[in-house]
Amino acid sequence: MFDNFRRNSLRWAPILARDQNVSQISGDVLDVSSLEEALRGVDTVIHMAAIAGVSSYYNESLLTLRVNILGIVNVLEAAVKNRVKRFIHFSTSEVFGPDALWVQETSPLGIGPVSDRRWVYATS
């Protein structure tokens, strides 16, 4: 598990914190060399690194864009370099915008005007 632990992710999955088969590596998806090192010998990447949460979009719009766009590029490039066989990418319903409760996964994404910070996550 490669995480910057910004939001205390292990509190939602305490079993991972105790699992002896899960290594915890503190790092950031914006740090390419740490990513490359962390993915050495890895078979599968489950990518869930993104800044989410509406308050983050408003308070840290530029950081959200950097992490969500450059971060996935860095993870994908490190995965290719390390010949990772499987890549799974997670997202949230926020990519569908405020009407997320009424859409299906096959629905088109909802992207609003770039002048509204609310759309930073969906755009990135």
Q: Residue 94: what are its φ and ψ, rounded to 5°?
A: -60, -25
Band the pLDDT of 112: cuts 50, 70, 90: confident
- Our count of domains for the chain comes to 1
Containing domain of residue 97, as a range? 2-123
- Domain with residue 27: its CATH number is 3.40.50.720
Helix-strand-coil percent breakdown of the chain, rounded to 5?
50, 10, 40
Find the helix or strand (DSSP H, E) in which 56 lies.
helix 54-59
Pair 25, 65: CB distance under 8 Å: no
pLDDT, tens digit, for every residue of 51-110? 877 778 788 888 988 998 999 999 999 999 999 999 998 877 777 766 677 777 787 777
Task: Check residue 114 and give its pLDDT.
Answer: 67
Which structure tokens are listed for 66?
A: 């950097």
pLDDT, tens digit, for every residue of 12-57? 888 888 888 888 888 999 999 999 999 999 999 988 888 877 778 7
Longest C-alpha distance within the chain, in Å?
Answer: 46
Which structure tokens are listed for 112?
A: 């609003």
Task: Check residue 41 and give its pLDDT.
Answer: 94
pTM as predicted: 0.81
Task: Check residue 82 and give its pLDDT.
Answer: 97
